[in-house]
Amino acid sequence: MKNNILNIALAFAGVAALTSCSDFLDKAPKEELSDASFWKSSTDAEMYISDMYNSLGWSADDAINTDDATMGIKWAAGNESKGVYDPSDYSWKSSYTYIREANLALEKLPSVSMDEATRQKLEGQAYFFRGYLYWDLIRSFGSVPYIDKPLTLSDLNNTEQSSREDVYAKAMADLDKAIASLPEQWDEANYGRITKGAARAIKMRAAMYYGDNQTAANEAKAIMDAGVYDLWDKDNTGKYANLFWEETDGCCENILVIQYNAPDRTNYLIGWEAFPTLGWGGMDPTQDLVDAFEDKDGSPIYESSAAGVVARDDNGNPTARQLSQIFDPANPFANRDPRLEVNILHHGEEMYGVTIKIAPNRGISGDTGIGCHGDATETGYYQQKWLDPSINPQTQGWDMGKDYVLIRYAEVLLTYAEAMNNLNPLCQEAFDAVNKVRARVGMPALQKTDASKPTYCGTQAELLKRIKNEWRVEFALEGDIRKWNLRRWGDAKEVLNRKYHSMVYTYDDATKNFTPYVGTQHVSLPGSKYSDHNYIYPIPQEEMDLNPKLKQNPGYGKK
């Protein structure tokens, strides 16, 4: 039953696309179906609301817009990853189309014949999507037009921008209405629908982004106290990797998901992220990300700045002090945080019945590494997080039916930990929350009592630094989480305006082997660029051309 909403949405799209035997679309476009034949029953309303789930979006490659990865498929690297913020690259048309759907639904639902419990749930979903979409718009563009009536898109082109603060308040009010109207859980037939917890989680995320620690902590605590969600494999039985495979769809950790059902609708996660046996893939993790994973005793590998940046010389070698006593640069994947192996595919690892070879191109048969062809890794690593061993990447790599998880319970715990540390420095609630995430993979608890241990956090700043790193390694390569975290922390300028780094290696001509980390042969990657005004994106050029009342965001030039 997992794809119930997806099937309803696809059916609705099919209804709205009928053109071969009638003039249906000419009389009743999707946004105005009520005028012709719709809004007659709760079934009609449910189909209409279900279509809004298509507004939930994610990007497989947003990690390349941070210091965590580069794009191995060279032609697919967008301008933002190069520090170019071109107004013509951005759009908000789709968001406003779905906002219009939400506005129309909220106008029509009161007149549709149905029981009040059903009506409340449908209205709750409509309020959620309007709040969610406006929140996403202001995070991306700052001040945007605000419309809460089902106007046409042409009407939008004559509407002035509302302040970010005003839209934020209205979006949070919509999310409050959603929280009040939605159930904590749906039955199995309605798997994937927005829950009270999902609405709280978006409100939590929005509040945290704009520094409202109290609201973020309150919403996180409400989710925790509800008892609906929990960490997958919280008892650390060694199944953490399975969290990112299709078998865990619908598990207790997943709060908000986008549904897929291969081969009818596939998310392409494996194909886009990595075909490791063929030696190509989109996500090439950087050495900077690899170095962020602690050793198994909880010690950082190298000393880093507050933003998590490790200092390096011109050859890419760390100049910062090595902190770990058990880290061996000649055997760098030994004795590390288990999440390193879950996220990073490296040279010599066994996968899909073969030994992965990511050495630089030496003209040797079987090499799948640096420089072997145009789409080979440029960092010496491939992404591994979603490489489900039950799916053969060479024959099924483009057909993956795993639901994409937009919010999972680990985010709630880390948000609570960070917010509580901001509100009450070094409070036990902050330690307890972050340590639940660490304990799930067997990492030792952060603590404030024993300064002789590498897990010691004696100041608010030290605990915040470790929580930031926990965000990075727990959500490594997962969509846009790090991109927005760097902005809200104020770390983006330090992190993005520097070179990124590939694996450091040496090669022995006699043995035909190479050793990672040792020596100075190294690729220094260009990184990105970031200025203070890049905290928000430029208003889309298409919208500037259509609407003379819009004002471009500062730093992006005039219309």
pLDDT of residue 10: 53
pLDDT of residue 521: 46
Give the tokens for residue 510: 């006699």
What pLDDT digit, counting tens, does each position of 320-333 carry? 999 999 998 878 89
Three-class SS of residue 66?
coil
Give the tokens for residue 145: 């037009």
pLDDT of residue 3: 58
pLDDT of residue 389: 83
What whole-number distance in Å separates Cα of residue 60 and Cα of residue 521?
30
Partners of 280 in the beta sheet? Answer: 275
Q: Which residues contact 85 (CB under 8 A, 6 or more apart)?
A: 79, 534, 537, 538, 556
- If phi over 0 gives left and psi between -120 and 50 gives alpha, with beta otherwise, what is residue 227? left
> Taking the CB of residue 30, how many other CB atoms lie within 10 A of it?
18
User: Strand 344-345 and strand 382-383: pairing?
Assistant: antiparallel
The position carrying tokens 């996968």 is 351
pLDDT of residue 23: 30
What whole-number distance in Å separates Cα of residue 186 and Cα of residue 202?
18
**493 touches 530 (CB < 8 A):** yes
User: Domain 56-251+535-546 carries which CATH code?
Assistant: 1.25.40.390
Residue 229: alpha-carbon gap to chain centroid: 19
pLDDT of residue 179: 98
pLDDT of residue 313: 77
Partners of 351 in the beta sheet? Answer: 354
Residues, the chain: 559
What whole-number distance in Å separates Cα of residue 19 and Cα of residue 16?
9
Give the tokens for residue 249: 């769809």
pLDDT beneath 70, residues of the chain: 1-37, 153, 271, 276-280, 315, 359-373, 393-394, 397-398, 504-509, 511-526, 558-559
Q: What is the CA radius of gyration of the chain?
A: 24
What are the C-alpha distances in Å from 304 to residues 47, 89, 110, 283, 558?
Answer: 51, 34, 57, 24, 39
What pLDDT digit, counting tens, does each position of 160-203 carry? 999 999 999 999 999 999 999 999 999 988 999 999 999 999 99
> Taking the CB of residue 481, how many other CB atoms lie within 10 A of it?
23
Give the tokens for residue 341: 């192996």
What pLDDT digit, counting tens, does each position of 8-49 carry? 555 555 444 333 332 322 333 454 454 456 788 889 999 999
